Amino acid sequence: MSRVIRIATRKSPLALAQTRWVAERIRRRAPDVTVEEVHIVTKGDQIIDQPLAKIGGKGLFISEVEATLVDGRADLAVHSMKDVPDELVEGFDILCVPEREDPRDVLVSVGGKELSELHQGAIIGTSSLRRSCQLRAARPDLRFKVLRGNVGTRLRKLDEGQYDAIVLAYAGMLRLGLDQERELWALPEDTSVPAVGQGALGIEGKVDDAGLRDLLVDLEHPATRLAVEAERAYLSRLQGSCTTPIAAFARFDDDGETRMRIDGMVGSVDGETLLNASTDGYVDAPDHAARLQQAARMGVELAEMQLDRGAAELIQAAKSTEDPYLIGPYGPH
């Protein structure tokens, strides 16, 4: 008798696209497996008039989806790794990390303008303190307004003239096929360091389900797993919050996947201070588990560099700020 695999997913077009991408690859590996979708509406999907940072952070998208795994309604969940918290529910793990899509942020405007081409005082739509902090450093004249909703809603608001440009994850545009419909300008990583895990997916399931692991084995991408491990170790060591502008981007510099570089950013909530740091090293242990430990150590090392430069003070100030959307990039101009 063939197995039925139930995948929990939010109902947004992007979440469904990601889930169906995974489902199709499971079917290719095991044609006799039936894959079903279990649709979830999370609190983060329902409250779209406030920034996520003010209503609980990105974990709002994970906890209610994860609950379907715990109570047995679903077998797998497909997450955006940038939304996955440090700790998952006991007995569950990220069983698979597929190859990363483009991790960069992308500027979307009518005419596909570059950042330098936007007019003085242009209004940028984003609720990401990480993005607004870095873009303000590059263009202090820019103004920022909160932007929520799924990708289609955000693009509609741009088309209606509510913003001069908006900032989105390039990966989402690619997965939805919207890169062919819109003129986009990818922000260089040294202008906007991506969010931890941005562009990567994580497939969660029961730790002890060997059958699920086997179905996903062809999807696992070791280099992406190592890079995300380094980024998440960096974030974990800094102990930031959803109101702290923090970023990290790790990647291998050579085709042999042995030398890794990781860039990190910590910003002040008012957008006045950016701490940027980088480190690189070899991730070349003989087995994958040891390589994961090497990658994590690199992330911690980078975080320690940032803490030595004053990151702890910036992070604490952010945690103490009642409403970060009333000051700095979002405040009065």
pLDDT digits (tens, 9 = 90+) for 275-295: 999 999 999 999 999 999 999
Tell whether the model's pLDDT for residue 247 goes beyond 60: yes
In this structure, are 6 and 81 located in the same domain? yes
In this structure, are 80 and 205 located in the same domain? yes
The average pLDDT across 244-258 equals: 87
In this structure, are 140 and 62 located in the same domain? no
In this structure, are 227 and 332 located in the same domain? yes
Separation in Å, CA 330 to CA 51, 125, 134, 160, 162: 12, 10, 13, 20, 15
Distance CA 38, CA 41 (A): 10
In this structure, are 13 and 81 located in the same domain? yes
The average pLDDT across 57-76 equals: 81
> What is the chain's mean pLDDT, rounded?
91
Return the minimum-mean-pLDDT range out of 45-54, 111-120, 220-229, 301-310: 45-54
- Identify residue 30 by its one-letter amino acid code: A
Which of 143, 175, 193 terminates a domain? The answer is: 193
- Identify residue 72 by its one-letter amino acid code: G
Strand 76-80 to strand 4-10: parallel, antiparallel, or no bridges (unpaired)? parallel
In this structure, are 239 and 324 located in the same domain? yes
Tell whether the model's pLDDT for residue 61 goes beyond 90: no
Which of 177, 193, 209 terminates a domain? The answer is: 193
In this structure, are 77 and 131 located in the same domain? no
In this structure, are 84 and 177 located in the same domain? no
pLDDT: which is higher, 330 or 153: 153
- Predicted confidence band of residue 256 (pLDDT cuts 50, 70, 90): low
What percent of the chain stands above pLDDT 70?
Answer: 92
In this structure, are 131 and 90 located in the same domain? no
Which CATH number covers residue 111?
Answer: 3.40.190.10
Instruction: Name the region of 294 (left: φ>0; alpha: ψ -120 to 50; beta: rest).
Output: alpha
Distance CA 214, CA 254 (A): 29
Active-site pick, 75, 83, 105, 270: 83
The total number of structural domains that make up the chain:
3
Output phi, psi for 167, to 5 deg: -120, 130
In this structure, are 177 and 292 located in the same domain? no
Tell whether the model's pLDDT for residue 199 goes beyond 70: yes
Distance CA 4, CA 264 (A): 42
The average pLDDT across 22-41 equals: 95
Strand 4-10 to strand 34-40: parallel, antiparallel, or no bridges (unpaired)? parallel
What percent of the chain stands above pLDDT 90?
Answer: 77
The average pLDDT across 307-324 equals: 92
Distance CA 41, CA 81 (A): 19
In this structure, are 158 and 212 located in the same domain? no
Tell whether the model's pLDDT for residue 162 goes beyond 50: yes
Which CATH number covers residue 317?
Answer: 3.30.160.40
Tell whether the model's pLDDT for residue 27 goes beyond 50: yes
User: Is 83 annotated in the active site?
Assistant: yes
The pLDDT of residue 220 = 97
Domain that holds residue 88: 1-98+200-220
In this structure, are 57 and 157 located in the same domain? no
